[in-house]
């Protein structure tokens, strides 16, 4: 591992200058480093009805082209190969009868759960909720049903911090979403087992506009596991997701996501926002484990004093996959705490970019946060760019970052071989060990096992590539 | 035929010949010491015996229990019953000592080891090495002190029960207490399990605690002197330079010529 020098403290951090105003970028002119920004504030909701939001989003959708994101010459994420016109939303569902998609039953662990909601293509196909929890006031239903049955909650929270006009697919989500998931854990409820929210794409040709809203009432405690899964089909599909989670005073949530879009040509352009209220806490771990082209805007914001968060993340990109992650550790008020720790690996000719932004707004005094990114290259053609940035507008804070870039350590492989492990096993042990600090922190063995299993399968698939890399060095 | 038989072993790395014809025989139940000054090729021999990919055998052979293993993969040698205690043990983050040991033990077996049997063995090894039981749930060598790393090496050796172990400068960087624990551990594995050992060292210290029956002195890629434990004492009195002069100034010269020739 080669340590990347750390830049500690607010003074140097302020110079990083990520958060200035958006700059129009022309194709071929890439010098403008400013590209990704925190949403950082009021969303599109703001008193508008759902119909008004949809109409506004539709107008934006019609006006915009499919986006190309560029960053300072060495990175671009382009949707120009996506044939959006050819995709169908299927808001009424594709399947006759109910029942969960095969990819869901195959992937999700057998375990006790508080509830589960499953959407395939554009329709919710399965909802279950522990009857005791339902009795106690927990709500788990499709977002469509929530607009009918819980209008007052939706009026207050829906799209509170999510925008609808930054790019065409965000607008498409806001205009065309169907099904959707709504979870409300009322004040004071403590739920041990996880709520599972599942989005599945079973065939090519689908545009899935996924919309999730989760509310954690004051001092509630619960777990949410989101799964984003697809069958291994041939052809294109799209998942454009918008996720929002609001934690009210003293609420605690452990949020995890397992995303693996399989071997089809699946595009995933999603925005996820988590807002941590007064003295609330969120532990968030997305694991991004596959997709033809994935762009994720992930924003964890402390919005009230005393909020604290642990923002974890795991990614593994293989073959020709393109992964673009923008993770924001946002502090709107202080005192607050943050701790961002991501780990990613790449095989084949995969390209992954991880940009981690610490943003501390004016007045967010007494904020202490740290960002670290560790990456491991498993193939000479794979590439991971890790870009930490810090934007600090308060003076009584600490914000710093660090990270490592590593390759397979031949010394460690020889060491393990000398104990009787064969080479593929030794490689697996190293890569699993690389991710293990984050997976064991999940404190949820069934979920950790799902991620471990997927990592092991990807390593097995990349075995020849990894061997070739080792012998070429 | 000896259990471990090294014949006329020539080894090179990065265009430099390091071992220039080493002959050595080690059996189960025998303790050998291999001594030599820095750069004489001690660690090269240790790594070559386990098949480190950076070292190329250009001549000669290594056989173990009658099977030629000169070209065998490292894990095959380990499974056959060879062990190397590393001079610089590598940290394996994310894998606990206990889990690693279980994997290593299972790699040698058809059926995975029973939990109870594993625990019993581990408890025995932990006592032998005088380490805390909690030690085995720490990540292997990750953040270990020098002494802890060496204890972890011997702990692994005790658990894997090899026929022949090579200890590559296990004594270096150890304080006297750690040295005694490690050395007594080796001695007990020899006494109780019939371990054969090749103790590679620059100094004599460890040999005050483990008594070798055979002593070999390696200089410039060749074994230049062999004998019993009296050789250790002589080395302590006279030093390597004296011995070098005695075995012939030609040795060093030959290396220089060899280097030039390469």
Give the per-residue pLDDT at A46.
Answer: 83
Least confident of A19-23, A255-259, A363-367: A19-23
Q: Which residues of A touch B94 (CB under 8 A)?
A: 432-437
Kindly tell me if the per-residue pLDDT of A406 is higher than 50: yes
Q: How far apart are CA A108 and CA A260, in angstroms?
A: 12
Q: How far apart are CA B234 and CA B240, in angstroms?
A: 10
A428 within domain boundaries: no
Please give the full DSSP string across A150-208, using - where no structure is assigned.
-HHHHHHHTTSS--S-SSHHHHHHHHH--S-EEEEE-TT-EEEEEEEEEEEE-SSSBEE
A429 contacts B107? CB cut-off 8 A: no
Give the per-residue pLDDT at A97.
Answer: 59
Q: How far apart are CA A144 and CA B108, in angstroms?
A: 57
Tokens 């609808």 found at: A164
Q: Which of B51, B77, B94 sits opposite A432 (nearest CB)?
A: B94
pLDDT tens digit string along A308-323? 999 999 999 999 999 9
Q: How far lies A379's CA from each of A2, A387, A403, A424, B260, in Å? A: 17, 20, 20, 14, 38
Q: Sheet holding B164-168: strands in order across?
A: B82-85, B164-168, B196-201, B31-35, B214-219, B222-227
CA dihedral of B66, B70, B74, B79, whole degrees rounded to 10: -10
Categorize the per-residue pLDDT at B257 as very low, low, confident or very high, splitting at 50, 70 and 90.
Answer: very low
A184 within domain boundaries: yes
A420 contacts B93? CB cut-off 8 A: no
pLDDT tens digit string along A200-229? 999 999 999 999 999 999 999 999 999 999
Kindly tell me if the per-residue pLDDT of A8 is higher than 60: no
Q: Which of A420, A435, A436 sits opposite B107 (nearest CB)?
A: A420
User: Is residue A214 within 8 Å of residue A245, measured between CB atoms?
Assistant: yes
A467 touches B at CB < 8 Å: no
Contacts of A257 (CB under 8 A, 6+ apart): A225, A226, A227, A228, A272, A285, A286, A287, A288
Give the per-residue pLDDT at A110.
Answer: 95
Exposed e or buried b for every residue in A185-220, given b needs 16+ CB within 10 A? beeebebebbbbbbbbbbbbbbbbbbbbbbbbbbbb
Structural domain count of chain A: 1
Q: Which residues of A touch B73 (CB under 8 A)?
A: 417, 422-423
Q: How far apart are CA A435 and CA A432, in angstroms?
A: 5
Sorted by where each begins, the domain ranges of chain B are 4-90+163-261
3-state secondary structure of B115: helix
Q: What angle do CA A200, A204, A206 make, to 5 degrees?
A: 65
Q: What angle do CA A391, A393, A398 make, to 5 degrees?
A: 75
E strand or H helix at A464: helix A463-472
Contacts of A283 (CB under 8 A, 6+ apart): A253, A254, A255, A309, A310, A312, A441
Kindly tell me if the per-residue pLDDT of A172 is higher than 90: yes
A424 within domain boundaries: no
Q: Tell me the average pLDDT of chain B.
A: 89
3-state secondary structure of B37: coil
pLDDT tens digit string along B32-64? 999 999 889 999 999 999 999 999 999 999 999
Q: Which residues of B touch A436 (CB under 8 A)?
A: 93-95
pLDDT tens digit string along A81-140? 999 999 999 888 887 656 899 999 999 999 999 999 999 999 999 999 999 999 999 999
Ranges of H-type helices in A208-248: none
Other beta carbons less than 10 A from residue B146's beta carbon: 14
Kindly tell me if the per-residue pLDDT of A456 is higher than 70: yes
pLDDT tens digit string along B111-156? 999 999 999 999 988 988 888 888 999 999 999 988 889 989 999 9
B92 contacts A430? CB cut-off 8 A: yes
Give the per-residue pLDDT at A77.
Answer: 92
Which of B 75-104 lie inside 8 A of A, CB atoms? Answer: 75, 77-79, 83-84, 86, 89-95, 100, 103-104
Q: Strand A398-407 relative to strand A367-377: parallel, antiparallel, unpaired?
A: parallel
A452 within domain boundaries: no
- pLDDT, greater one: B259 or A438: A438
A320 within domain boundaries: no
Kindly tell me if the per-residue pLDDT of A348 is higher than 80: yes
A436 within domain boundaries: no
Rounded to an integer, the average pLDDT of B2-31 is: 94
Kindly tell me if the per-residue pLDDT of A25 is higher than 90: no
Question: By residue range, what is the domain housing residue A146?
Answer: 26-311+325-340+352-362+383-400
B7 touches A at CB < 8 Å: no
Q: Which residues of A touch B100 (CB under 8 A)?
A: 416, 419, 429
Categorize the per-residue pLDDT at B202 as very low, low, confident or very high, splitting at 50, 70 and 90.
Answer: confident
Q: Strand B4-13 relative to strand B56-64: parallel, antiparallel, unpaired?
A: antiparallel
Kindly tell me if the per-residue pLDDT of A458 is higher than 90: yes
B53 contacts A414? CB cut-off 8 A: yes
User: Is residue A201 within 8 Å of residue A239, measured between CB atoms?
Assistant: yes
Q: Which of A415, A420, A423 sits opposite B79 (nearest CB)?
A: A420
CATH of B4-90+163-261, one of 3.40.50.2020, 1.20.1250.20, 3.40.50.300, 3.30.930.10: 3.40.50.300
Give the per-residue pLDDT at A473.
Answer: 60
3-class SS shares of chain A: helix, strand, coil, % to 5: 25, 40, 35
Q: Which residues of B touch A412 (CB under 8 A)?
A: 90-92
Q: How far apart are CA B172 and CA B175, in angstroms?
A: 9
Other beta carbons less than 10 A from residue B5's beta carbon: 18
Categorize the per-residue pLDDT at B93 as very low, low, confident or very high, splitting at 50, 70 and 90.
Answer: confident
Give the per-residue pLDDT at A35.
Answer: 61
Residue of B13, B14, B73, B74 for testing the chain A interface, max A β-carbons within 10 Å: B74
- ipTM given for this complex: 0.93
Tokens 């009424």 found at: A92
Tell me what percent of the residues of chain B surpass a pLDDT of 70.
95
Q: What angle do CA A416, A431, A201 make, to 5 degrees?
A: 145
Q: How far apart are CA A236 and CA A292, in angstroms?
A: 9
Q: How far apart are CA A66 and CA B130, in angstroms?
A: 65
pLDDT tens digit string along A30-62? 333 346 788 877 788 888 999 999 999 999 999
Q: How far apart are CA A13 and CA A359, in angstroms?
A: 10
Give the per-residue pLDDT at A12.
Answer: 33
Rounded to an integer, the average pLDDT of A132-159 is: 97
Q: How far lies A10's CA from each of A300, A342, A355, A392, B237, in Å? A: 20, 21, 18, 6, 61
Give the per-residue pLDDT at B262.
Answer: 31
Give the per-residue pLDDT at A378.
Answer: 92
A425 touches B at CB < 8 Å: yes
User: Is residue B57 within 8 Å of residue B10, measured between CB atoms?
Assistant: yes
Q: In degrees rounded to 5, what are phi and psi of residue B23? A: -120, 130
A420 touches B at CB < 8 Å: yes
A18 within domain boundaries: no
């Amino acid at each position: 591992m080669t340590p990347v020098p750390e830049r500690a403290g607010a003074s140097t951090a302020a110079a990083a200058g990520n958060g200035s105003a958006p700059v129009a970028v022309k194709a071929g002119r890439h010098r403008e480093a400013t590209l990704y920004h925190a949403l950082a504030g009021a969303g599109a909701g703001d008193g508008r009805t759902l119909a008004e939001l949809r109409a506004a989003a539709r107008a934006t959708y019609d006006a915009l082209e499919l986006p190309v994101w560029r960053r300072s010459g060495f990175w671009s994420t382009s949707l120009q190969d996506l044939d959006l016109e050819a995709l169908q939303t299927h808001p009424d569902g594709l399947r006759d009868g109910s029942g969960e998609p095969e990819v869901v039953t195959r992937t999700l662990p057998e375990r006790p759960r508080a509830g589960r909601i499953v959407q395939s293509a554009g329709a919710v196909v399965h909802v279950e909720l522990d009857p005791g929890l339902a009795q106690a006031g927990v709500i788990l239903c499709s977002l469509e049903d929530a607009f009918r049955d819980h209008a007052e909650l939706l009026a207050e929270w829906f799209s509170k911090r999510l925008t609808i006009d930054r790019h065409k697919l965000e607008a498409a989500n806001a205009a065309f979403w169907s099904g959707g998931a709504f979870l409300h854990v009322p004040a004071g409820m403590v739920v041990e087992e996880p709520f599972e929210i599942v989005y599945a794409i079973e065939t090519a040709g689908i545009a899935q506009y996924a919309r999730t809203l989760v509310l954690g009432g004051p001092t509630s405690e619960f777990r949410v596991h989101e799964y984003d899964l697809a069958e291994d089909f041939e052809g294109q599909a799209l998942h454009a997701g918008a996720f929002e989670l609001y934690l009210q005073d003293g609420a605690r949530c452990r949020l995890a996501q397992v995303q693996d879009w399989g071997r089809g040509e699946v595009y995933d352009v999603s925005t996820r926002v988590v807002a941590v209220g007064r003295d609330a806490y969120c532990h968030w771990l997305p694991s991004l484990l596959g997709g033809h082209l994935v762009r994720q805007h992930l924003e964890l914001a402390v919005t009230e004093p005393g909020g604290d968060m642990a923002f974890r993340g795991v990614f593994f990109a293989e073959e020709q996959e393109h992964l673009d992650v923008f993770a924001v550790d946002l502090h709107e008020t202080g005192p607050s705490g943050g701790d961002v720790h991501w780990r990613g690996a790449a095989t084949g000719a995969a390209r992954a970019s991880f940009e981690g932004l610490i943003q501390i707004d004016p007045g967010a005094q007494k904020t202490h946060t740290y960002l670290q990114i560790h990456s491991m290259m498993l193939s000479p053609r794979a590439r991971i760019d890790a870009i930490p940035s810090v934007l600090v507008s308060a003076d009584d804070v600490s914000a710093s970052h660090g990270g490592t870039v590593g390759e397979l350590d031949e010394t460690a492989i020889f060491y393990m071989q000398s104990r009787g492990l064969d080479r593929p096993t030794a490689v697996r042990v190293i890569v699993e060990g690389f991710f293990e600090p984050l997976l064991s922190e999940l404190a949820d063995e069934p979920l950790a096992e799902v991620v471990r299993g997927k990592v092991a399968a990807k390593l097995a698939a990349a075995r020849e590539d990894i061997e070739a890399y080792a012998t070429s060095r | 035929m000896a259990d471990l038989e090294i014949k006329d072993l020539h080894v090179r790395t990065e265009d430099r010949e390091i071992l220039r014809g080493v002959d050595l025989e080690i059996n189960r139940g025998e303790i050998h010491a291999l001594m030599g000054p820095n750069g004489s090729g001690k660690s090269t021999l240790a790594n070559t015996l386990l098949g480190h990919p950076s070292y190329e055998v250009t001549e000669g052979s290594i056989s173990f229990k009658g099977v030629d293993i000169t070209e065998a993969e490292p894990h095959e040698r380990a499974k056959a019953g060879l062990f190397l205690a590393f001079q610089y043990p590598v940290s394996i983050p994310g894998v606990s000592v206990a889990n690693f040991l279980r994997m290593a033990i299972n790699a040698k077996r058809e059926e995975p080891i029973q939990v109870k049997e594993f625990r019993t063995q581990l408890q025995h090894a932990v006592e032998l090495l005088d380490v805390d039981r909690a030690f085995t749930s720490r990540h292997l060598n990750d953040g270990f002190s020098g002494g802890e790393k060496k204890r972890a090496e011997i702990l692994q050796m005790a658990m894997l029960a090899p026929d022949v172990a090579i200890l590559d400068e296990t004594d270096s960087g150890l304080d006297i207490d750690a040295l005694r624990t490690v050395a007594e551990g080796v001695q007990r594995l020899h006494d109780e399990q019939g371990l054969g050992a090749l103790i590679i060292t620059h100094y004599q210290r460890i040999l005050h605690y483990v008594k070798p029956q055979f002593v070999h002195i390696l200089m410039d890629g060749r074994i230049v002197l062999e004998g019993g434990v009296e050789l250790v004492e002589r080395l302590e009195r006279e030093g390597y330079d004296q011995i070098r002069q005695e075995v012939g100034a030609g040795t060093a010269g030959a290396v220089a010529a060899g280097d030039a020739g390469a």
